[in-house]
Every structure is written in C-alpha cells, then in structure tokens.
Amino acid sequence: MGVRDYLEEGIIVFDGAMGTILQDKGLKIGEIPEKLNIESPEIIVETHKKYIESGSKIITTNTFGANELKLKNSGYTVEEIIHGAVKNVKKAIGTKNVYIALDIGPIGELLEPMGTLKFEEAYNIFKNQIIQGVKNGVDLILIETMTDLYEAKAAILAAKENSNLPVFCTMSFEKDKRTFTGCSILSMVMVLQGLGVDALGVNCSLGPKELEPIVEEILKISKVPVMVQANAGLPSIVNGKTIFNISPEEFALYGRRFVEKGVRIIGGCCGTTDKHIKSLVNGLDNVLVKEIKYCPINCICTPTNSVIINGVKVIGERINPTGKKAFKDALVKGNIDYILKEAIVQVESGSDILDVNVGLPEIDEEETMVKVIKEIQGVLNIPLQIDSTNPKVIEKGLRIYNGKAIVNSVNGEDKSLDSILPIVKKYGASVIGLTLDERGIPPTALERFKIAEKIVKRAKEYNISEEDIYIDCLTLTAAAQQEGVKETLKAIEMVKGRLKVKTVLGVSNVSFGLPNRELLNKTFLAASIYAGLDLAIINPMNKEMMDTIISSRVLWDEDKGAKEYINSFESIEDKSNSKDTQDIKEDLFNIILKGIKEEAKDATRRLLTYKEPLNIVNEYIIPALDLIGERYENGDIFLPQLIRSAETVKNSFEIIKEDLSIDSKEQISKGKIILATVKGDIHDIGKNIVKVLLENYNYEIIDLGKDVPKEKIVKEAIKNDVKLIGLSALMTTTVKNMEDTIKDLKEENPEFVVMVGGAVLNHDYANMINADFYAKDAREAVNIARKVLG
C-alpha cells in the first residue's frame, strides 16, 4: 500500500524533530547536522528507530538543509548526503511498514525580486535533491518550513516534474497569520493545492496553541488533506540551553484536537522528541477521520493579496498593445517603466486584476511576458491575467508568476482546448473560455452556450474545477451586429444559470464605431451585471464605468451599508477619460512609494537642478521611507514592496552621490553600524534585509557576514569605532553564541550598544542575554538606529 492509499484510509503520524535530539547527543553549535548521515550514522539510525518505536508511520530523512548552497563547504555532495540519509532510514525501518519522506527545507537565500536567487536557479537546486531522493528509494517528498510562496512553488514543480511521488508541503506562519514574507493562508492554500500537492499545512515557528486558529482557517478552505507539525510550544533559554514549554502529554492533547477538527497528517517540529510522538500516537486511539466538506472559492491571488470573485470585479485592460501606439513603442524599446506606470495607475483607479498582453510580431513575446510579469509583481501585489493565444507564452508566464493567475484564454476549438488546458491544470491557474470555435462567434445565445458547455466539460476532464472556469460570452459591436448584443446578455444568463460558473466580458467593444461611446459602454455594463457578469474587462480610468460598478455593488447587496459607495463619493477626484498615464509627472516621494526604480534616477536628476542633495534626502527620501515603514508595520504592504522601495532609494542615492563632493559624502553618513550573524548560524536573510533599509537611511553598514566568531565582531567594533552593533540568529542553538558575543562586547566597552533580531528571538530573550534592544523587523532596526545614532 502506497502513501496515497494510506492517506485515504486514516490518520498518518510523522516523526518529530531531528535537531533537538542531535543537540542532546552532542551536536556542536554551527555544525551541519546532515554531515552526521556519513560521519556518525549510528546516531541518526538510533534517532529514527526511537520514532518508529514511538509509532511514527513516516520517517523524514536528515536532509533538511541538504542543498548545494548549504553544503558548499561541508566536504560532501548533495548526492552523498542524501544517499547516506536514506540508507540510515532504511536501516532503522528494517522490515517494518514505515514510509520514508525526503525532507527538503528552504534554500537559505531569498528569490527575486526580494533577493538575487533566480526562480529557475532555485528550481534546479531542488531538482537535484529530488532526483537523488528518487534514486535512493524514498516514498514521498516533504517540502517544509517554507516562508516564501515562490520558493515553495519552485520546490513543488521540481518534485512534480522529476518524480511521481506524493508531495506534501508545509509553510511556517507567524501569529498574524502570515509568513515572514507576507504570504496569507488563503494564498498558500490556493497556490499549493493548485500545483497538485497531496497534502498541505503548517509546521515550525509556533506551538500548537498558537497554530490552532491558523489550522482552523486552513481546514475551512483546503480541498486536500491538511498536515500539522507544531513545535513543542515556545522556546526559552535556561542555563544556556533551549527549553520548549509543552510536555509530551500536553502536546498529545493538542494533537488529538487537531485531528478531531479534520487534520489528517500530524507530527512534531522543533523541541519534540520520541516521547512527544509516543504520547501523540496513544492519544489518537479511537479518533475517527473527520470528513471535511469543501466549499469552492473563486479566487485569484498573489502571495499577499487574494481577490475572491464574489461580486463584480474589475480587470484592467490597458496593458495591451492593441490600438495603442505609445504602448507598442514601449514594448519594442523595452521601456518597462512605461508599462509599470500603466499598471500602477490602473490599480490606483480601482482594478482588482490586471490583464497582461504583450503580443507584438516584432518582439519576443515569451521573453517580454516573463519580464513584464516579474517587473509588475516586483512593484504591485495585484493578481494578473495572462493574455495570449500562444501556449508557450502562457506557460512561460504561468511558470514565473508568483500566485494563482487567470489565463486568457481558450476557445471551443479542440486544438485550443488540448494545447492550453493541460498548462492551466499544471500550474493551478484559472481559465477564461471564449464562446467561439472554428466557425467564429455564433449569432445566438444558445449556440454560444453550447460552446461554453463544451469548454466546461473539457476543462473538467483535465480535472480543472468549476470555480476555476470563467466563460466569456463575447461582446459584439452594436453598430454592426445590433441584435447580437441582446444575445450576449442572454448567453450570460444561461451560463450562470445552467453551468454554475462565473462569467467575464470585455465590455467596451459594444460601442465601437458609434458616437458617445461612454454612454453605451456604461449602459451595456449595467445590463451585463444584471444578467450575471462577474468580471468586467474595462479601462478602470474611465470614471463612469467604475461608478457603474461601484453603484451596482450597492444595488446587488454586495457593498454592505454602502460603505464603498459612500467612501468613493465623499472625496471625488477628477479621473477624466482624457487623462493619460504618461501625463503624470511623478515626484521622487511617490516614485519611492511605488518602487519605480529606473524612474528614481531621472526624478533625482531633475530635483538636483534646483535643490541641494541633503535637502532631497530630508524632504523626499526619508519621509517616503518613513511612510513605507509605517505601511509595512500596519500590514498594508509586505516584504517584497518594502525591498522594492528600498532598492528605488538606492538608485536615487547613486545620482545624489555623483553630485556630492568627498566631504559631502562623509557628511551624509549618520554613523557606522556593524551587522553580523553570530557564530554557528549560516542564515543571513533577515540581516541582509535590515542592511538594505539601514543603508537607505544613510547609515554606513559594516557587514561581517554570517557564522562570525565573537572575537571578530569585538575586533571590528573597536577598529571602526562603532557604537551600534546588530546581531542576528535564526536557530535556537546559536542564541548562546549571541549571548557570549554580547558579554565580550560589553566587557571590552560598556558603551557598545547591541540590538538583536532573528526568528527565535523576542523581547524576553533579548533581555535575558543582556541585549540593549530587540528589533522584530527591519523597520524597528531603523527606529533603534535613530535612537542611538540620530
């Protein structure tokens, strides 16, 4: 019986932590635990055996960090480590009926646009791990502790494209129900189940009590089995040792509650031992599998923004070269800033989703689609509709897209359905079906309905769910086919009533060739909404069209209390139809807020013609960064947007520094700060983010890197006459090294000020190890620097 069969029958119990056990057995701080697969295999085998004896049915290999980047200086290859790890599990299992999970953790570097690691580079790193796992005979692939949805996608695609094994994927959430990078629960579920994982869920970061509301939310929306591997509570340091506060018995009580709520796969993470798992197994006696009724959700998303289609939503149509000379020129010249401005102004005008069409014969459409999607997603967190008739372009776009997109489109021709629907299914996208076929657009509603029926039937054959199918009944021009307009409305009613799928429509075609087009467009839009339209593809900068949608939400009881309607008309701004995106002259402040990196250079040059460099910094850059930081703290924006704005400031500073004399350059610095990840810890993502933001506030950063001995930190602090030192640690095992570093710094110079940060730390930890400040994130680090250095 395979893992998938076992999952259908009942509850699966995983093992618990590996690192906790290895630390108790003498694993040194900073030592790579995966090396023990080869150097001390008996310790690994013994650990696996204890979990098997405790009742674990799936054992994870000791390969959490077994990727080429983390093993770079280990002396071993990925192939050697994974071979040794699987061999150890097999030895521990013997003849027992226990399965082997290849354990894959995060790479340890941020992917673009937050970092420098390219998506396909991440994919290839995971691919190598998957191939070695399959080669050595694992039964399933466990992708865990992910905080970046994009990285999780790369890992899942690597698993699906290079094996036929079951794939489980879990992410780590904070108490605010978002991951470190801002990914929401709904976005995680939509994307992971769309990509075809066999199970999804949460692990690490929190104890079972803190995870409970997160798990409950996942259970409401997931249509695949849910997995939970909580920590043994929250950690604290006692006599230099990390202690978790939940006993095996209490852990088992929470585990039973999870299963009674509907969780199908349960195990332990940091701090759990074989005793926790044994109590958990015993506590699950006589617990029946709870069947969860799945409630379909029509949802398009980015990692941080989920748009639920439960009323009329707007798809902005302006990123499309059809009939737009300036846009065509921008595509040919590769003027991405022009395209970004089109995207930004549509979002500001009220778009819920943006259509992206870059189809021009004189450009490489595949390459351009990838570039435009990456750039838009680097600036905005709005979901995208990938618009092309070329299956290769669609696949390239879906592969690089971070989230769940809509594909525009398929039609009733078999060739279209067979070439595009498999791509839609593979990447977990939604799809628009056009009610036309090789005969063209049928004149009657009934004929269009029959094509829609065929599209829905064929999509379901590819296991594409109803909630991911949208039908476009197609708008005909009233000037040429007046009778066809009424047929479109009839077709919308038929599709909504009989097929139970959502509808979409490009509205403005109806008025082509007639005077006063806006009047016809808004009238037809209102009629379409009444007929059952869900997604209107329109120009969101047309105020009358947007007003029609806003008012319809009141009349259709979607805008409860008419709050959106009232807010929209309390402070009316003139968004006249003559307004063009490129007429808007952005100042540097807004450019930074929006993260338009290249535009920052030109804006700074313009300001330098009549303002002093330091005045630009104080009047534009610092206020913009403060507002960005405030929005980040409030959860209005997330890490990708924060980093994009910081990179935009970097571009501005490049121009400012060109204009400054050497003396002025020294004057612009607010002081020196040392940043370092402490000895034994090779994780520096958080430190690097802090560095970027501090540099933008004109602090001179001396970055000592990761795995830095305390002696070097003290030496560099003295040498550079530094007042503020920032220390980072991700692992509980390295907090003791942080404490020792602080002790040596204070003994050398009591005036040294130390701020600490990292996933395992909090205010209590910081106080316990005698740090002066705790920085929960990069924004707080800036606030601390201001207090200390001004």
- Given a contact cutoff of 8 angstroms between Cβ atoms, the answer to whether 741 and 680 are in contact is no
Q: Which of 352, 247, 266, 371 is nearest to 310 (CA)?
A: 352
Tell me: is residue 269 an annotated ligand-binding position: yes
3-state SS string over 331-385?
HHHCCHHHHHHHHHHHHHCCCCEEEECCCCCCCCHHHHHHHHHHHHHHHCCCCEE
What is the sign, positive or negative, of the torsion defined by CA atoms of 19, 21, 22, 23?
positive
Tell me: is residue 473 an annotated ligand-binding position: no
CA gap 396, 393 in Å, rounded: 5
Q: Which two tokens stand for residue 338?
A: 């022009």
Q: Which of 225, 212, 123 is nearest to 167 (CA)?
A: 225
Preceding omega of 113 cis (within 30 degrees of 0): yes
Q: Given the structure tokens 């570097």, which residue do they identify? A: 109
User: Cβ–Cβ contacts within 10 Å for residue 488, how many?
Assistant: 26
- Given a contact cutoff of 8 angstroms between Cβ atoms, the answer to whether 499 and 472 are in contact is no
Helices 639-659 and 597-608: angle between axes, nearest 10 degrees: 30
CA gap 599, 591 in Å, rounded: 7
- Given a contact cutoff of 8 angstroms between Cβ atoms, the answer to whether 745 and 715 are in contact is no
Angle at 702 between CA 700 and CA 708, to 5 degrees: 160
Q: Which of 8, 3, 1 is nearest to 165 (CA)?
A: 3
CA gap 15, 89 in Å, rounded: 12
Question: SS3 for 633?
Answer: helix
Preceding omega of 409 cis (within 30 degrees of 0): yes
- Given a contact cutoff of 8 angstroms between Cβ atoms, the answer to whether 562 and 317 are in contact is no
Distances (CA, A) of 303 to 148, 179, 229, 311: 8, 10, 22, 21
- Given a contact cutoff of 8 angstroms between Cβ atoms, the answer to whether 349 and 372 are in contact is no
| Amino acid in the structure at residue 587 | D
CA gap 233, 217 in Å, rounded: 20
| Residues ≥6 apart with Cβ < 8 Å to 555 | none
| Amino acid in the structure at residue 526 | A
User: Cβ–Cβ contacts within 10 Å for residue 582, how many?
Assistant: 13
CA gap 204, 269 in Å, rounded: 6
Tell me: is residue 183 an annotated ligand-binding position: no
CA gap 690, 718 in Å, rounded: 22
> On the CB side of 75, how many CA atoms lie within 13 Å of its CA?
7
- Given a contact cutoff of 8 angstroms between Cβ atoms, the answer to whether 140 and 101 are in contact is yes
Would you list which residues are annotated within the binding site?
A: 204, 269-270
Would you list which residues are annotated within the binding site for Zn(2+)?
A: 204, 269-270
